[in-house]
Structure 1
Amino acid sequence: MSWFTQMLQNLISFPYLEEYLSSVVHPWWFRKLLVLHCSLMIDIYVAGCACSFLLYVYMKMNKHQETGYESKIWEKPRRFFAHIADIYGKIWHGYELIGMEHIPKGPGIIIYHHAVAPLGYTLLLARYFLETGRLVHSVIHHVGYWIPGLQMFYYVIGLKSYKKAEIVEILKKGHLMGISPGGAREAMYGHDYCLIWGKRTGFAQAALEAKVPIIPIFTQNSCEAYRTIGKTRLTQWLFDKTRCMYLLIYGGFPVKLRTFIGEPIPYDPNITAVELAEKAKIALNNLRDKHQKRPGNILRALSERFDKPYKAD
């Protein structure tokens, strides 16, 4: 194995290859986990493609009506998807949403910590749509957006790899936009609810250009529902080079999820994008420190399903 990995390392210039192979090839459970992971990903993908196909048929049946994303013909499909997500959240996670009054009636940017699966944010969108009828647009990683067969589904629920100019335009029309500044890197390589934003300030710049507030949200136990395996220097090096994800995901645990919506950070023309991004980061960390016990623990998160409903102080 040592000779073989050294040959591959010299041939294709992949550092850390031996470390990676030794960490994932030998254990017998890896093969079983890989089969389970692949089956789950295939099932989710097939379900997404089926939704896209049905939405396309639905659009053709309403061909005499306007089909832009603001069209009323998408109200019923969106409400159906929102009901499914909300029922799942109530049954599987005992989902609670606290502080909805902090979301402005006008435009704004919602920022959140990106867990492996952003369940809290997704369930927030579903609950908010059912109660207000407002669609929140969301930024997705460009690799996920270009997966074949899912674009129609993404279009209807407002999910896209938006550019900054598009974000500003949507905000100026009075809509809400959801962004995770940490993105895929934070989801895959974050540790214990830490924010990994680097020097990303694009969301803050968009908020300043559109003159809108930033609304921080945090979901308690979001990192305990799904976790990853295979974090090594090799997989992180590959991510840095390709922006693709190489870690296996496991979980689906029915942990307690509560999403807390913080007070909006108002538009201030006298600060820079860097300063605004730092204020947003502090606000999100404050929400985390107030509502999340660290280090995270799956058993504790499961036991919290039996706690009384949250009451604000």
Structure 2
Amino acid sequence: MFSIVYNLWLMVEDVIVQYIDLDFTLWLTWLLMPLLITFLLPLVIALLLYLTALMLYIYKLHRVKLRNAYGTAWRDTAVHMVAAVWDAHGWIWHGYEIVGLENIPQDKPVLFIYYHGALPVDIYYFTSKVFLYNSRLVRLVVDRFLFKIPGWSIFADILKIIPGTIQSCSAILKEGNMLAIAPGGVYEALFGDSYYELMWQKRMGFAKVALDAKVSIVPFFTKNLRESFRAVSWGRRIWLKIYAKTKLPLVPIFGGFPVKLVTYIGKPIPYDGNLTPEELQIKVADSLRDLIRKHQKVPGNITRALMERIRNTEKHKD
């Protein structure tokens, strides 16, 4: 038996020596490694999402025992767990911070409006930190295609995520909740670039929601969001045509770079019944653009954003 294995190994060794140039293989691996890492890192976020979903299913399965142990609803315990996981990820990988938490009205319904990155990791970190520090869940409006992804239903159920209509969003706010909407949506995510231009396509549904619910709007923007993840820019016309026909986010995403992320919360824009939806949309867009101009150097630069992360780490060590 040993002789058979040994002879088989000799044959494999001969093939490797004769047909594979190890020096070339090592060089090719070194050359392509950055490219492989760049496109594989987004899968880490997907893996984390599914691990979170798995933990939520475990909480759901053992909800009776958890309720007896903690004396509270199992959903509350599960939300605390999810918030802790994502807050830790944001702090470790991006040194995530929020500036302007005092701008969030306390004990009042709030409509958050934000810029949509290629992969909106900032909204995961933002909602987690707000929940952990204020014990208030920010409900999210997301694209309908997400509800077709296997495993997503548990997120929608526990974290109160909805596809959102004007009526349903208004009802949520009238109940005293906080709600977050990115007017640019998937279009802005896929076809935005490092210049951070708003791509709202005249969407003003959020303005109608705010006026109907009579709530203030709080804009926020996350610095270096586009340097964390980016959508590929080549073949833009083809991707645009595909998106126009399917409305599916098929544009490849790359990145996952540990750049410094800081969310800046702007001043609340109070309810004004004299404004039309069009006027309110312009007012909110101008406020969000002001945040971008004030805090983001354009065009965004991945190397610069990485250096900001390193400098911030060194500052905390000192």
TM range (shorter): 0.7 to 0.9
Specify the code of the residue in structure 2 equivalent to 1:84. V
Q: Which structure 2 residues correspond to residues 119-138 of structure 1 after superposition, within 5 A?
A: 119-138=121-140
Structure 1 Cα separation of the partners of residues 284 and 262 of structure 2 = 20
Change (3 A) 1:240 1:52: farther
1:270 aligns with 2:274: yes
Question: Which of the pair is proportionally richer in helix?
Answer: 2
Point out where structure 1 has 5 or more consecutive residues left out of the alignment.
1-27, 65-70
Structure 2 Cα separation of the partners of residues 137 and 265 of structure 1 = 19
Identity of aligned residues (%): 36
Contact 1:189–1:231 under 8 Å retained in 2: no
Change (3 A) 1:203 1:38: closer
Change (3 A) 1:126 1:38: closer
Specify the code of the residue in structure 2 equivalent to 1:216. P
Q: Identify which of 205, 208, 218 aligns with 2:208.
A: 205
What SS is found at the alignment partner of 2:260?
coil
What SS is found at the alignment partner of 1:263?
coil
Structure-2 residue corresponding to 1:15: none
Contact 1:221–1:296 under 8 Å retained in 2: yes
Q: Which structure 2 residues correspond to residues 47-86 of structure 1 after superposition, within 5 A?
A: 47=51, 49-59=53-63, 72-86=73-87
Change (3 A) 1:295 1:281: same
Structure 1 Cα separation of the partners of residues 161 and 122 of structure 2 = 16
Contact 1:37–1:248 under 8 Å retained in 2: no
1:219 aligns with 2:203: no
Q: Deviations 1:248-274 (Å, cap 9, x if unpaired)?
A: 111111100100000010000001001
Contact 1:138–1:177 under 8 Å retained in 2: yes
Structure 2 Cα separation of the partners of residues 38 and 292 of structure 1 = 23
Count residues with an aligned counterpart.
Answer: 277
Q: Identify which of 172, 175, 178 aligns with 1:173.
A: 175
Instruction: Give the TM-score normalised by the residue count of structure 1.
Output: 0.81
Q: Which structure 2 residues correspond to residues 294-313 of structure 1 after superposition, within 5 A?
A: 294-307=298-311
Structure 1 Cα separation of the partners of residues 252 and 41 of structure 2 = 7
1:279 aligns with 2:283: yes
Structure 2 Cα separation of the partners of residues 91 and 108 of structure 1 = 29
Structure 1 residue 76 displacement after superposition: 1.4
What SS is found at the alignment partner of 1:159?
coil
1:112 aligns with 2:105: no
Change (3 A) 1:244 1:37: farther
Structure 2 Cα separation of the partners of residues 218 and 123 of structure 1 = 13
Specify the code of the residue in structure 1 equivalent to 2:221. F
RMSD, aligned CA = 2.7
Structure 1 residue 58 displacement after superposition: 3.6
